Structure 1
Amino acid sequence: MADHTIQSPLLSPVDAETSFANKTPLFVSASKFALKFLIWVIFISWAALIFLFPAESVSDLFRKWIHATSGTPFGITGSIFMLLSGPILIIAFLAIVHLIISGEEELQEKKASKNPRLRLWTFPVLVNGPFGVVSATEFIGIVLFSVYILWAVYAYTMRSLSYVSEHQISFKFKSILMLKIMGLRFGSIGLFCLAFLFLPVSRGSVLLRLIDIPFEHATKYHVWLGHLTLAIFTLHGLFYVIGWAMDGRLVQEIIEWKDIGVANLAGVISLLAGLFMWVTSLPGVRTWNFELFFYTHQLYVVFVVFLALHVGDFIFTMAAGAIFLFMLDRFLRFCQSRRTVNVVSAKCLPCGTVELVLSKPPNLRYNALSFIFLQVRELSWLQWHPFSVSSSPLDGKYHLSVLIKVLGKWTEKLRDKIVDAEPLKDLSLQPRSAITASVEGPYGHEVPYHLMYENLVLVAGGIGLSPFLAILSDILHRLRDGKPCLPRNILVVWAVKNSKELPLLSSIDIEGICPFFSDKINLDIHIYVTREPVPPLEEGYNYKPVKSSLCPMPSDFGMSVLVGTGNNFWSGLYVISSTIGLVILVGLLHIFYINPYGVYQWWYKGLLFVACMVASIVIFGGLVVVLWHVWEKQNSAKEKDETKVDQFEQDDTLASKDSTEEKIAQSTIIRYGSRPDFTEIFALISEQWGAVDVGVLVCGPPTLQTTVAQEIRSHSVTRQRHHPIFHFNSHSFDL
């Protein structure tokens, strides 16, 4: 590692003046503060209502609210929806306004902190356990959820015991009554958990974008909540089953489908669908057969629809807000994935990795830590697989690349398809080639957090280097073009099994992007080849960037920009119009059908409510999607007219090529037969970099994440004042 730092600012005086001139106006800052304050007030009030709902006093207030507002055309359904689902939709509206106001100036406002400090969301508290690596913020969330469950069970148990004790009946019937009451209460707790379950699984959710939690991070929250929710619903069903069995009416109750009250059979079907999803999502089953997990998880449609049939419309609205936001995201993903994407280039690298270069429109928004979901229809019409983007948005206006490690059946078939197609001509594939790709995304951080640290440590395992190639490319492009960019010291720690994987580093053309990078940043690369004691070749590994021949022109087969993380105006209009459409359709349904014709069946009204949710998205949201698509086509046509030749940047500094490659070689250290010693690495960083904030980004297997997180936690506990503070950030996720 080079023992030097660069203290001069990255921005020139001209850049600094430009940044100052473009400073956010005071009224914009005030508006953003007011929006955030209002969002927090609404969220805390909503969460407090859910937390205190088991209390008898709050339940009485809830009943009074229903009595006071049920006289509207929407009835009880509207009252409960407004109180328990309305807040989360209002927060979504405010989040849209906040994102539109913010635009892309967030990066301009970020400055390096002179005084390093711990941050709850980057400080790992738990590193070994069932939850994986858990930050302090996540730990607080786990504690709050645990306290809520314990408090709710305790409160409901005390209220149920008090109610049962008032009845002069035998012990057997008291037990049956107690089981049924507690089964009912567990059902209400499960519905509140369900209100949170669908929020993190919405990939382009405006709520996740507001708090800057990308989908790959939020996935684990969905997993945690999924285990909790289905465990509670299982207790809900189990208590009823035991009570019915004790009463001698088990079969009759299970197959009963009431018009007034809950439809038991619908609940049984919903619970069975949930149990199938739960069992097949367990780590052992998911690893053994991912396809089984993937296909079974599509039963969420059965789970939700039959839940609505089971409890009726007004009880279903307790969790309908989050489900509606998920449906919005799902429909937009469906619309985006209908388009066929042109595979500009497809090739198999010697290290057993496939590189796909996909066509995209120039206005598609993403950053260097984004990822996409990819479908290859020749392999499967149903399977979608997530891959980190290995290119920076500054690499080219019309393409995006991903690196795919050949590990399973799907990736093996993909490699075979590419190998079979190569002899036909070359590595370039045309739209009607052996590969037909569809894409959902890109998704990722709202603000690229790798640009928020002056000092970066990138820890990768194997193919985990892929997103870090995008990071390096992004930083080098920004340095070359004078764009806002904080990183000045970068250490890459890469662990690979075999030396044949080393050419993966050559996927990025460092000298071609920024020939004089060493004058602006300190870049050190430490590579650990764990399963080879000595280099296989005497001369070792030489950095030789791989040149790709790419199409520089816009393509008619590029990705669709219809993505929730895309244009803030259109995505916001889509959410708002669909929500307004839901209110209109439910209102019309009650005014012209339910109230005049005296529709009273709970299950039927639940089905009608779900139908209104779907119709509002398809009709009102679909209209916005059509207009959005027309806008996209017009922009693409305009771009094509303005673009005649937009060749990729060629290296016009050939004289510096050899010296640049020599500098890269000097900054690269390869160790054979050993693993990274993070205690030694972090100790060396502490002595060389001093008291600064250091962003540590990890992308690799769980064991690598655990090891790094454990070392960061240990260092933070025993830290000296003149040592840096390490901030743990994971870029790994497992569906």
Structure 2
Amino acid sequence: MPYVEFSYNPLSTIFINFPSVSRLQWHPFTVSSSSNLEPERLSVIMKKEGSWTQKLYRTLSEHATLDGLDVSVEGPYSPISENFLRYESVVMISGGSGITPFISIIREFIHRSNSLNIPTPNLLLICAFKNSMDLTMLDLLLPVSGNVSDLSRLNLKIEAYITREKEAPISDEQTMIRTICFKPKPSHMPISPVLGPNSWLCLAIIISTSFVAFLILIGILQRFYIYPIDKNTGHIYSRSSMAVLYLLVMCTCIVVACSVLFLKTKRENMKGAKQINSLDLPTPMTSPSSWYHCTGKEVESLPQESLVKATNMHYGRRPDLKMILLAIDDENVGVMASGPAGLRHQTAAICSSGLADNLHYESISFNW
């Protein structure tokens, strides 16, 4: 649970450590939530692939004997820019769990459309999955709260491709989502900035106060320590010793200023931690995959219905990215890709080929 005034941007990255899984391993994840839409939550998506996530899955599977799970978080680190907000249309292309960064973008547009009444661009989500079970990831487009998650006001279109299945599975069984909620402890702390919500102001205070304190202490040392030595002994105080003394005073001033602000912020966060004890998390009752497999059944809510209507299913093939992108007529189109390196390179090559002047590729990866 983040601090009340804690905010971050879409496409932000956090580093997570689970001491019960590994005390030394920190793994980066893209934030899938929106601080504007759900200010009390920060969520990420993890896929059970490597040894670290498999061990985490086994740990959570033993929830009957598990009374809690300690988590350490570093970040979030915001992206360099949010250029996707300035386009007339936004095309998001993902493969597998690469859909994660686009979930935060779509949730941000949900907030802008429903809460701020700001016109949003045309959104096209092209996602490829290996099998139908991975379609449950589309459920994450909808926040857990569901109170402002109406997709009907968004011009959103989803093209979902299932590459390893020729047709939709015929089954009346619904795969249930299992939600594990641990009872909050009084010792739990909300996720919050180390220097508080106004980090830049705190940094300015640290710099200014430490500089003033440095000047005052240097003046005191010069008058009552260095000057008497020069006057009484007739020898000039060692320049190297003076440099070391100045450096020591400067570091002391910075450490003291940082410690005061840190302790002040920590005291305020302790008050916010009391909110965790009253946190009430809803539990999903059905699997989102049933929205696509059992379309003949009644849809329970308007957000789910909007999501189903916006989704087109394609089985047994991959998306023809070149054909799809070149067929877009809007004048200013932002294109983003997330997933395997081959998918990102193919998308970037199409946008930079010169076949269409309206396509603008936006890299959201550290290694293009």
| Pair 406,646 (structure 1): closer, same or farther in 2 beyond 3 Å | closer
Q: Is residue 525 of structure 1 aligned with residue 158 of structure 2? A: yes
Shift of 1:505: 1.4
Q: Is residue 718 of structure 1 aligned with residue 352 of structure 2? A: no
Distance in structure 1 (CA, Å) of the matches to 2:186 and 2:351: 45
Match of 1:360 in 2: 2
Superposed CA deviations along residues 62-101 of structure 1, whole A, max 9, x for unmatched, are: xxxxxxxxxxxxxxxxxxxxxxxxxxxxxxxxxxxxxxxx
Match of 1:538 among 170, 176, 181: 170
Q: Are the aligned partners of 2:192 and 2:269 in contact in 1 as well (CA < 8 Å)?
A: no
Greater helix proportion:
1
Q: Are the aligned partners of 2:15 and 2:75 in contact in 1 as well (CA < 8 Å)?
A: yes
Superposed CA deviations along residues 335-371 of structure 1, whole A, max 9, x for unmatched, are: xxxxxxxxxxxxxxxxxxxxxxxx2211222122211
Match of 1:682 in 2: 325
Match of 1:418 in 2: 60
Match of 2:124 in 1: 491
Match of 2:78 in 1: 444
Q: Is residue 570 of structure 1 aligned with residue 212 of structure 2? A: no
Distance in structure 1 (CA, Å) of the matches to 2:180 and 2:50: 26
Q: Are the aligned partners of 1:477 and 1:513 in contact in 2 as well (CA < 8 Å)?
A: no
Shift of 1:448: 4.1
| Pair 694,379 (structure 1): closer, same or farther in 2 beyond 3 Å | same
Shift of 1:679: 1.1
Match of 1:509 in 2: 142
Q: Secondary structure at the match of 1:362?
A: coil
Q: Is residue 558 of structure 1 aligned with residue 190 of structure 2? A: yes
Report 1:133-172 matches (<5 A): none
Aligned length in residues: 342
Shift of 1:475: 1.8
Match of 1:471 among 105, 112, 128: 105
RMSD value, Cα: 4.4
Q: Are the aligned partners of 1:451 and 1:486 in contact in 2 as well (CA < 8 Å)?
A: no
Match of 2:31 among 389, 396, 414: 389
Match of 1:694 among 329, 333, 338: 333
Match of 1:379 in 2: 21
| Pair 704,620 (structure 1): closer, same or farther in 2 beyond 3 Å | farther
| Pair 568,360 (structure 1): closer, same or farther in 2 beyond 3 Å | same
Unaligned runs of 5+ in 2: 230-235, 285-297
Unaligned runs of 5+ in 1: 1-358
Shift of 1:532: 3.1
Distance in structure 2 (CA, Å) of the matches to 1:482 and 1:635: 30
Distance in structure 2 (CA, Å) of the matches to 1:734 and 1:585: 47
Superposed CA deviations along residues 116-157 of structure 1, whole A, max 9, x for unmatched, are: xxxxxxxxxxxxxxxxxxxxxxxxxxxxxxxxxxxxxxxxxx
Per chain length, whose mean CA-contact separation is higher, i.e. which structure has more relative contact order (CA < 8 Å, sep 6+)? 2
* Letter in structure 2 aligned against 1:558: P
Q: Secondary structure at the match of 2:16?
A: strand
Q: Secondary structure at the match of 2:319?
A: coil
Shift of 1:474: 2.2
* Letter in structure 1 aligned against 2:310: S
Worse overlay, 546-555 or 371-380: 546-555
Shift of 1:516: 4.5
Q: Are the aligned partners of 1:699 and 1:732 in contact in 2 as well (CA < 8 Å)?
A: yes
Match of 1:625 among 220, 234, 258: 258
Q: Are the aligned partners of 2:90 and 2:334 in contact in 1 as well (CA < 8 Å)?
A: yes
* Letter in structure 1 aligned against 2:339: G
| Pair 436,383 (structure 1): closer, same or farther in 2 beyond 3 Å | same
Shift of 1:657: 4.0
Q: Are the aligned partners of 1:370 and 1:388 in contact in 2 as well (CA < 8 Å)?
A: yes
Distance in structure 1 (CA, Å) of the matches to 2:175 and 2:37: 20
Superposed CA deviations along residues 428-452 of structure 1, whole A, max 9, x for unmatched, are: x53xxxx322111111137644433
Superposed CA deviations along residues 710-735 of structure 1, whole A, max 9, x for unmatched, are: 11112xx2336xxxx22222222369
* Letter in structure 1 aligned against 2:356: R
Structure (1 or 2) with the larger CA radius of gyration: 1
Shift of 1:681: 1.0
Match of 1:597 in 2: 238
* Letter in structure 2 aligned against 1:708: T
Q: Secondary structure at the match of 1:473?
A: helix
State the identity as a percent: 27
Q: Is residue 403 of structure 1 aligned with residue 36 of structure 2? A: no
Match of 1:709 among 331, 334, 348: 348
Q: Are the aligned partners of 2:334 and 2:361 in contact in 1 as well (CA < 8 Å)?
A: yes
| Pair 669,574 (structure 1): closer, same or farther in 2 beyond 3 Å | farther
Distance in structure 2 (CA, Å) of the matches to 1:515 and 1:561: 27
Q: Secondary structure at the match of 2:157?
A: strand
